[in-house]
Amino acid sequence: MRLQNLINTADDAFRKAVKVDWQSEARDLYVKRLKEAKELTDALSEALRTVSTTLATYSEAVTTAKSHYKSGKVTEKNCPR
């Protein structure tokens, strides 16, 4: 979660960095690297959202499975043999 928050705060930094009017031989490299960094953080952010959703779904499934298991154990215990 902290990584996701860090990535979210980077968006503002990227917006500010794009507005920099910097003149140098390295300007094109700066713009290229800035674009690459933005693409990486966007991809990482999307991956973290996907993982978060998947883990929440998995957690719900485990809770349901535990409930079914417990119910089955109770039924098994109460079944005449």
Which residue stretches of the chain are H helix? 2-18, 27-78
Distances, alpha carbon 11 to alpha carbons 15, 28, 38, 54, 62, in Å: 6, 21, 8, 24, 35
pLDDT for residue 1 is more than 70 = no
**Per-domain residue ranges for the chain?**
54-80
pLDDT tens, 17-67?
878 787 889 989 988 999 999 999 999 989 998 999 999 999 999 999 999
Distance CA 18, CA 36 (A): 13
User: Residue 30: which residues within 8 A CB-CB, separation 6 or more?
Assistant: 22, 24
Look at 67 and 16; give whichever has higher pLDDT: 67
pTM attached to this predicted model: 0.65
